[in-house]
Structure 1
Amino acid sequence: MDTATIKIVAALISDETGRVLLVRKRGTRTFMQPGGKRDSGEDDIAALSREIAEELGCGIVPASIRPLGEFNAVAANEPGFFVQASLYRIDVTGEITPNQEIDEAIWIDPAAPPDVDLAPLTRDHVLPLAVATTSAANVD
């Protein structure tokens, strides 16, 4: 990918009712998945663990980590850029408390999102995937 692509790791976190956790970064209006850029030398899981700890003040349950794929979308907060996201379904341990650059965290029904600004990655890829995997889980 070219320099106009930001490579990130992102988390799909659901609660027991199937709601999905979204965050809004300070100074923005757009809700998105928790996660972010890898630091030099970090693999996906190390980066995601660090980002979740920094942004939400909690940890990842290692046995819960499930890769969901790589997805591309227009970047929500960086005009002219795209994101290439490695998406993981995870469970977290500890209390979720927005920290550092996160101003707000909300739980939404992925099948009926509220009227808020959603990042293209979240709107076009993550929420449909959350609906599909929740529906599949309910069939079992």
Structure 2
Amino acid sequence: METIDKLAWIEIKDGLILSTRTKGRTKFYFPGGKREADENDFSALSREIKEELTVDLIEKTVNYFGTFQAQADLHPEGVQVKMTCYTGSYTGTIQPAAEIEEVVWLGYADREKVSPVDQIIFDWLKEERLLK
């Protein structure tokens, strides 16, 4: 079974979670991406967040949140995505950049608008009363 290894930033404010939509896509995804050669999780995640949202993660505030796995969106059946998630503070103003067309704050009612792995995270956040 093929597994895609990704990193994601979990940013929750007032019971809503930050999500992004890539140009040409209809589903929303948590911001983040894949590591490049020789990158650790923080350097890869901070690079991706800077590229996608123009903000800088503050390294000393970044904490492991959890790892979740599900069928990879837009991939053949059986291809899984393993998403290692982190929280953390940032400096700057969040705005879409690079391939990101839209930045939104979603609540649990928006669950069907996100990828399968993000839906698992939505469910967990709802159970923990972190998501409206």
TM-score bracket for this pair, using the shorter chain length: 0.7 to 0.9
The residue number in structure 2 matching 1:94 is 92
SS of the counterpart of 1:31? coil
Code of the aligned partner of 1:73: A
Task: With the length of structure 1 as denominator, give the TM-score of the two structures.
Answer: 0.82
The residue number in structure 2 matching 1:79 is 76
1:53 aligns with 2:72: no
Code of the aligned partner of 2:104: I
Identify the match of residue 129 of structure 1 among 124, 127, 131: 124
Deviations 1:24-69 (A, max 9, x none): 1111111111000100110111100000000001011223211022
Q: Is the 8 A contact 2:4 2:81 kept in 1?
A: yes
How far is 1:6 from its partner? 0.8
Q: Is the 8 A contact 1:9 1:85 kept in 2?
A: yes
Code of the aligned partner of 1:50: R
Question: Counterparts of 1:88 and 1:95 in 2: how far apart (Å)?
Answer: 19
The residue number in structure 2 matching 1:106 is 104
Deviations 1:5-26 (A, max 9, x none): 11111111112x1210011111
Unaligned runs of 5+ in 2: none
The residue number in structure 1 matching 2:114 is 118
SS of the counterpart of 2:125? helix
Task: With the length of structure 2 as denominator, give the TM-score of the two structures.
Answer: 0.87
Give the aligned length. 129
Aligned CA-pair RMSD: 1.9
Question: Counterparts of 1:101 and 1:41 in 2: how far apart (Å)?
Answer: 23
How far is 1:79 from its partner? 3.3
How far is 1:133 from its partner? 5.9
Residues 115, 86 of structure 1: CA spacing in aligned structure 2 closer, same or farther, 3 A cutoff?
A: closer
The residue number in structure 2 matching 1:138 is none
SS of the counterpart of 2:45? helix
Identify the match of residue 19 of structure 2 among 19, 22, 42: 22
